Structure 1
Amino acid sequence: MTDDLAGGYDLVVFDLDGVVILIDHAIDGAPEAIGALHERGTAVAYATNNASRRSAEVAALLTGIGVPAQPAEVLTSAGASAAVLGEKLPAGSPVLVVGADALRDEVVDAGLTPVSTLEDKPVAVVQGYGPEVGWRLLAEAVLSVRAGAMWVATNTDKTLPSPRGPLPGNGSLVAVLRTALDREPDLVVGKPEPGLFTTAASQSHAERPLVVGDRLDTDIQGAVTAGMDSLLVLTGVSGPADLLAAGPERRPSFVAADLSGLFRPAADATVPLDADEAGGWRVTRDDDTATLDGEGDPVVALRLLCRATWNGVPVSGLSGSSEQARDLLAEWGL
């Protein structure tokens, strides 16, 4: 066991989009970080809400960007959703698939029959992200659910990170059905539900897993629900302002700028930082306001400020007294 953050865990479960990859390109430093874990013998798994690829496709993509991966290490919301339907429905049952071919293939592997219209009399609708999903298929899904079909969503991520900025995710498409039907899905399978994480831990026989993600509302909340420690990396969707405002159910154990934080002491990433000053920064609290002064690593300032906002100071009550502090808060949108 090493003295860094990752050394305290026997399994690291990575989210993919915004942590390891952006669409199909590696995030800087991700292949090297995961390669270092492999070299020291730490088990690795990947848990993704993106339902547009199957496990084998994801493993091939990762291998292609320099991250050797096996299909068994990859857990997708598409596979998990199809497995749930396979347990609930008789073999061969018609299921209307709203999503990519990967989701349709998972439905087939679960022993069910994928269909695409109300006339096929689907007994369930499964909805996952697919870049080609359009109005016509969404309309068939609405009609099918209204006719009594069970509605299962692979996940409800509102956005999907990309090099061009956040794009509409499956949650945005789920919102179309939610608006038309005026109700929620019968079941949401992916994160923040803990199933992907607990399955990964079970498969690896891990006693102390660490979840690494970029979204507070899925990755981190799922880890909290599963009773697992988590690391938020600031390379994807959730940013400093989101972390400062996070409720208890969405608070990570650690925060770092990127995956290099795995190889620094855990004390350098623990959040909140239980101190008034550190790393050139100082936070002064006065009732429901807190002032940041000094200069240094932005993540250290963030950890100090989380102590204030997680203990009663509203985000609107934060201010900076040094030029560097004011610039940093402005950069965070505060």
Structure 2
Amino acid sequence: MTLSAAGLGSTTQPLSTVYDLAMLDLDGVVYVGRDAVPGAVKALTEARTNGMRLSYVTNNAARTPHEVAEHLRELAMPEVDDGDVVTSAQAVAHLVADAVPTGSPVLLVGGDGLRGPLEERGLRCVTSLADEPVAVVQGFHPDVGWRQLSEASFAIQAGLPWFASNTDLTIPTARGIAPGNGSLVQTIRNATGASPVVAGKPQKALFDETMERVGGRHPLVVGDRLDTDIDGAINAGTDSLAVLTGVSTLQEIIERAPGQRPTFVSADLAGLNESHLEVELDGDRARCGAATAVVRETVVSLETGEPAGTEALRAVVGLAWSVRDRSDASLTVDGTLGA
């Protein structure tokens, strides 16, 4: 892999043959709600055939790794073992276990997806400050409500350390975008003025947990969110692939500053099995393979190529980053791109 076009990575080989492990986000990348993202099964099956190991890395702490793995198996994802799933609940449980004595009571704000990893680390989950917990541990669950949030606030105000699985403000669902764990964390912040120790993306603890559990020497982070997946990859010193099947948009990608950009971009997981050719730049024009992009006034548009194709997206992104870096121009992408 080489870097070109203002930091965009390039390779003449499919990513699934260049990297030995894909650390895949789930919501908005592999599935949305109960349904697989279109094309995900085919793309991941091909990547696995190419020798790439697949790990499923999620900030969502609502379900246990077994429950997530069962869901993936129901969707016919290739060769899924329970150990291939790593959650932010496992990462935060590791952080807590390193910070408090074995067997300590901890105040649980969440569900079984968080309880299981805490108990696996030898910690005892309690639900009241009266049970004398030594820490507060918070993770997403749809049944978390005022009483749990209030009890956590009282414990934090009493001086207990606070750990959170993740701080995603939103979560994609089949019905649309819903509040995530970060929104619930913010509720406690509002009440206490405190901030938690965070394990999930964009912090590197979740990626460290994945490498410890799954292995891999040359991993690639794959995600749909710039603020968690891609920033997390950067914090972990790992290359990344941004896909457009979830939260972040192509417009948001071209607005990213140097040092905050994904290594690769594709419409969906099919990008794992494609080469990512070098972007050739010539002023306000760029070419990648058969695709050509151009900037007219402040709009980046496509002259040739398939709008949702990887070559087209690379030409657009590489050109936009190049123009922005040399002129600090504010650009927009043609609305048909990445669709």
Scaled by the length of structure 2, what TM-score is found? 0.86
Q: SS at 1:166's partner residue?
A: strand
Contact 2:302 2:316 in 1 (8 A): no
Q: Aligned residue for 1:30?
A: 40
Structure 2: tracts of 5 or more residues without a match? 1-10, 308-312
Matched, 1:292 2:304: no
Larger deviation: 94-103 or 198-207? 198-207
Q: Percent identity?
A: 42
The verdict on how the C-alpha distance between 1:85 and 1:166 changes in structure 2, with shifts beyond 3 A counting, is same
Q: Which residue among 122, 131, 146 is the counterpart of 2:133?
A: 122
Compute the displacement of 1:250 (Å). Answer: 2.8
**What amino acid is aligned across from residue 213 of structure 1 in structure 2?**
G
Compute the displacement of 1:153 (Å). Answer: 0.6
Q: Aligned residue for 2:109?
A: 98
Q: Which residue among 294, 314, 324 is the counterpart of 1:309?
A: 324
Contact 1:243 1:306 in 2 (8 A): no
**What amino acid is aligned across from residue 143 of structure 1 in structure 2?**
F
**What amino acid is aligned across from residue 282 of structure 1 in structure 2?**
V
**What amino acid is aligned across from residue 233 of structure 2 in structure 1?**
A
Matched, 1:250 2:260: yes
- Give the distance between the partners of 1:203 and 1:106, measured in 2 at CA: 13
Q: Which residue among 130, 143, 146 is the counterpart of 2:154?
A: 143
Compute the displacement of 1:290 (Å). Answer: 3.8
Q: Aligned residue for 1:181?
A: 192
Q: Aligned residue for 2:4?
A: none
Q: Aligned residue for 1:283?
A: 295
Compute the displacement of 1:294 (Å). Answer: 4.8
Matched, 1:170 2:181: yes
Q: Aligned residue for 1:89?
A: 100
Compute the displacement of 1:204 (Å). Answer: 4.6
- Give the distance between the partners of 1:66 and 1:2, measured in 2 at CA: 29
**What amino acid is aligned across from residue 106 of structure 1 in structure 2?**
P
Larger deviation: 127-136 or 259-268? 259-268
Q: Aligned residue for 1:219?
A: 229
- Give the distance between the partners of 2:277 and 2:12, measured in 1 at CA: 14
Compute the displacement of 1:63 (Å). Answer: 0.7
- Give the distance between the partners of 2:213 and 2:121, measured in 1 at CA: 20
- Give the distance between the partners of 2:294 and 2:217, measured in 1 at CA: 37
Larger deviation: 189-198 or 127-136? 189-198
Compute the displacement of 1:242 (Å). Answer: 1.6
Q: Compare relative contact order (CA 8 Å, sep 6+) and give the higher one, 1 or 2.
A: 2
**How many residue pairs get matched?**
316
RMSD over aligned CA atoms reads: 2.4
- Give the distance between the partners of 1:241 and 1:86, measured in 2 at CA: 41
Q: SS at 2:55's partner residue?
A: strand
Contact 1:46 1:75 in 2 (8 A): yes
Q: Aligned residue for 1:131?
A: 142
The verdict on how the C-alpha distance between 1:94 and 1:17 changes in structure 2, with shifts beyond 3 A counting, is same
Q: SS at 2:176's partner residue?
A: coil
Compute the displacement of 1:87 (Å). Answer: 2.1
Compute the displacement of 1:124 (Å). Answer: 0.7
After superposition, the C-alpha distances for 1:61-85 in whole angstroms (9 at most, x for unaligned) are 1111001311111111101111221
Contact 2:12 2:275 in 1 (8 A): no
Q: Aligned residue for 1:76?
A: 87
Q: SS at 1:267's partner residue?
A: coil
**What amino acid is aligned across from residue 286 of structure 2 in structure 1?**
E
Scaled by the length of structure 1, what TM-score is found? 0.87
The verdict on how the C-alpha distance between 1:233 and 1:109 changes in structure 2, with shifts beyond 3 A counting, is same
Q: SS at 1:277's partner residue?
A: strand
Larger deviation: 111-120 or 131-140? 111-120
Compute the displacement of 1:199 (Å). Answer: 3.6
Contact 1:121 1:144 in 2 (8 A): no
Contact 1:290 1:313 in 2 (8 A): no
